[in-house]
Structure 1
Amino acid sequence: MATVKQPEFCIRQYAPQDQEGVNAVFIDGCEFYRDSFPSHVQEHWTEFIQEGLDGDLSRILSAYIAPGGNFWVVTTPENSVHKVVGIVGLEDKGDGVGELRRMAVSSAFRRHGLGRRLVNELETWAKDHGFTKIFLMNGGPKEDARAFYRAIGYQDVGMKVVSVEPHVEVFQLAKQL
């Protein structure tokens, strides 16, 4: 009977050479949820992705790390190269509060516990660096993602409309550390 080798994963702080992989994981994560949004939101999906790529993801060091937050990648060896397969950022909002942002795991690597491991890494680092509360914003139809966060201790704290046209709602979840 053949033994199936489980992939090896490493979680570490982002480095500039990870940028291409970060972008690919972000796009993959966005595309995973595209069909769960109403068609009037899907029409703007490419713009949403491009705004992320051109915005904070194009300047991870200055948007996350330099101001006191952090950004992590999950890598796995592939053809002698460490391929980025997961990402998450922590944006420092001041007063011990951080925002969990850009959480995504490549579709080919979901169901390996990488999301939990990424959030655990983020929370451990946050506690060690004086954060007392983490919150996140989650798009309306992504109930499975909210269920994931609830399962690891995050609580629903509100909902708001972030765009009237197209109509987009986001839910806020938070956790005291």
Structure 2
Amino acid sequence: MIVVERRADAPAHRRDRFAELLEEYHRRTEHEKVLGREPRPDEPAPTTTLPDRYRAEITDPGTTFASDEVLLAVEGDRVLGCVVLTEGPSPELKRLWVDPRARRRGVAATLLEVATTVSRQRGDDAVRLSVWHWRSAAIALYRRSGFVAVASWDGRPGLDCFVRSFD
């Protein structure tokens, strides 16, 4: 059974796994940016050098995400995925990532639903996210989960933006 825990409540080894998931997420994303698409299954694993801002997230996620809600999808003692929910006037979901070996089991959908529920319960009017346009499976999940495409708030080409309102 997959459950979602808050990082603050998770044991140290699960918090360490969060850092590993962040590194997987950033390496894959940087690799995709170079390719301009998702890699094919037969392509080698990404070896892209990460920018310093992402290295800081990986080496000290506790500080980087200190004011954010970090949710971990856990099955037994294994962390399967993560998502970060920021606070502020424009709450945002970031770093949604599921271990590739745990995909197609509803982990991302579970993380997304819990994160939007937390956002709604804390009084947010809406929550937003951005996604690279080549991540068609993620975009389909966001649309099924009630997110609607909006004009981009980010100037990077290829980044699509979505919002889910709670009114």
TM-score (norm 1): 0.73
Aligned letter for 1:73? L
What is the SS of the residue equivalent to 1:84?
strand
1:9 aligns with 2:2: yes
What is the SS of the residue equivalent to 2:96?
strand
The 5 A counterparts of 1:18-167 are: 18-31=14-27, 36-39=32-35, 45-48=48-51, 51-55=53-57, 57-66=58-67, 69-77=68-76, 82-94=77-89, 97-159=90-152, 160-162=154-156
Gaps of 5+ in 2: 40-45
* CA–CA distance in structure 2, aligned partners of residues 148 and 108 of structure 1: 18
Instruction: Give the aligned partner of residue 174 of structure 1.
Output: 163
- What's the RMSD between the two structures over aligned residues? 2.9
Aligned residues: 155
TM-score (norm 2): 0.76
* CA–CA distance in structure 2, aligned partners of residues 74 and 99 of structure 1: 18
- Report which of the two structures shows the higher radius of gyration computed on alpha carbons: 1
Aligned letter for 1:71? V
User: Does the 8 A contact of 1:136 with 1:174 survive in 2?
Assistant: yes
* CA–CA distance in structure 1, aligned partners of residues 92 and 26 of structure 2: 19
Q: Percent identity between the aligned chains?
A: 15
Instruction: Give the aligned partner of residue 3 of structure 1.
Output: none
Q: CA deviation at 1:31?
A: 5.0
1:75–1:151: structure 2 CA closer, same or farther, 3 Å change rule? same
1:16–1:99: structure 2 CA closer, same or farther, 3 Å change rule? farther
Aligned letter for 1:47? L
Aligned letter for 1:161? G
* CA–CA distance in structure 2, aligned partners of residues 147 and 40 of structure 1: 19
